[in-house]
Amino acid sequence: MAPEEKKPSGALTAEASDEPRGSSESCQILSPPKRIGVWSALGTAYSATCALIAIFVFLVLTVGSGGTPIFIYSYLVALTFNMAVCVSLAEMASAKPHSAGQTYWSATFAPPGSATSYSYYTGFFATCTWLLWYISAPLIAAQLILATAQIISPDFAAEPWHTYVTFIGVLFVTYIMNINLFSVLQYVNKASLMVINLGSLYIFITLLVRAETKRPSSDVWVNIVNENGWGTGVNVLLSFAPALNCVSGFDSAAHLSEEMQQPHRDVPIVMVGSASLSGIAAFIMIMAFSYCTTNAENLLNAIGGQPGIQLMMDTLRSFPLTLIGSLIFVLVLANAGTCLMTVNSRMMWGPRWHGRMDCPPHGSLEGLDLDCCFLEMQHLFRSSLLLGWVLYSLAQLWW
């Protein structure tokens, strides 16, 4: 009688075991319903990236740090190489779509002797990345809401506890949408494609029309401004941050593959489509603020800590137009938090659907704890985005 073939254990591998680890009562191999279409998945991935907001979050990096020439060229270089990475991952997803994403691909395509270690490393860095991005979105959304309140009532002064309460409210909305209203969320994600694109077009047009003076093209494309005392190389690295955050998170569609009808076809379409839309929307925003920034110093002390809203206040010089732009920011960021929670939960639950984990990790509760710490140091919320990108880059080393 032939000896029974042993199955790999440990990290998620190309073939999941027939029996889940842990008791059959507490954990079972689940089969999620096929309820996410290609347009809904595209809206989820596009909203999670949130290029419209990410560009404005990092506007302060251009003030005295090389100016817009370094910012624009760094963006174009980062966009080119990020799209190359996106296409290669889309090819992997078309061959082997899986909700564990890069963790599964590392174990599948790596040499047999390195599959386990590669999958552990990739899974660790990828999980930390999405968790950091997830905890950033509700906090930024809360700050945007309070900044909008300051526009409506200039005498209002936001306190730290205001930010915390508003953050809890945004987080509660993300829970409700993902738990109780998930079917409604699919329609919201489809609508978000229109909201983000029309919102980008609105901000682009209003800034160009209402700006009293436009910066000359030589200042936008040629003249480098270095007032921070750092070298040009450091300023170039800083300018890479917006592009690397706007056109990234390519694996978000892969984490939804278990709930898609035709993942072999749909996941690559969503990955490339979302990255392309994000790249175009971000470039439109870069052009808008590059030509329409009238007082760059004000961005360093922006209302509510939001340079995008400060830029609209200085350039539009209109309460209704600025309020509409601020509400677009709030809606986009709130939905981004909801989509980030969707992707984050699917990435962690994916191995359990195949019986490779004892219990699903509670990433959302960890996000609540981490955000409580970040509220004490609100100026570090950009650092969570940057650290998320660094960990995402480390995870790519094992893809």
276: amino acid identity, one letter: S
Query: What pLDDT, on the 0 to 100 scale, is given for residue 259?
Result: 86
Residue 313 CA to chain centroid, in angstroms?
26
If you ran DSSP here, which 8-state letter would residue 34 be given? -
In degrees to the nearest 10, what's the CA dihedral of 367, 370, 372, 377?
Answer: -130
Nearest alpha carbon to residue 75 among 234, 231, 247: 247
Query: Which string of DSSP letters, residue by residue, matches 80-98?
Result: HHHHHHHHHHHHHHHHS--
Q: Give every CB contact of residue 4 below 8 A, 6+ residues apart in sequence.
A: none
Per DSSP, what are the bridge partners of residue 225? 66
Rounded CA-CA distance 209/207 in Å is 6
Rounded CA-CA distance 140/83 in Å is 26
Q: What angle do CA 14, 20, 22 make, to 5 degrees?
A: 135
Rounded CA-CA distance 344/359 in Å is 15
Query: What pLDDT, on the 0 to 100 scale, is given for residue 352?
Result: 54
Query: What pLDDT, on the 0 to 100 scale, is given for residue 387?
Result: 55
The answer to whether 35 touches 259, Cβ cutoff 8 Å, is yes
Nearest alpha carbon to residue 336 among 204, 202, 188, 197: 188
Query: What pLDDT, on the 0 to 100 scale, is given for residue 103?
Result: 81
Q: How many CB atoms lie within 10 A of CB 14?
A: 15
Query: What pLDDT, on the 0 to 100 scale, is given for residue 16?
Result: 40
pLDDT along the chain (399 residues), means of 10: 44 41 44 79 87 72 71 86 89 87 83 82 81 81 90 87 87 89 90 89 91 84 75 76 76 86 91 90 85 78 82 90 91 89 79 47 44 48 52 54
27: amino acid identity, one letter: C
If you ran DSSP here, which 8-state letter would residue 154 be given? T
DSSP alpha helices (H): ranges in the chain? 38-49, 51-57, 67-95, 102-109, 115-152, 160-179, 182-210, 217-221, 232-246, 263-292, 307-316, 319-353, 363-375, 381-396
Tokens 């936008």 -> residue: 220
Query: What pLDDT, on the 0 to 100 scale, is given for residue 78?
Result: 86
Query: What pLDDT, on the 0 to 100 scale, is given for residue 268?
Result: 92
In degrees to the nearest 10, what's the CA dihedral of 192, 33, 368, 172?
Answer: 60
Per DSSP, what are the bridge partners of residue 260? 36
Query: What pLDDT, on the 0 to 100 scale, is given for residue 303?
Result: 83
What the chain holds in terms of domains, given with CATH numbers, is: 38-396 (1.20.1740.10)
> What are the structure tokens assigned to 142, written together?
């809360």
pTM, two decimal places: 0.78
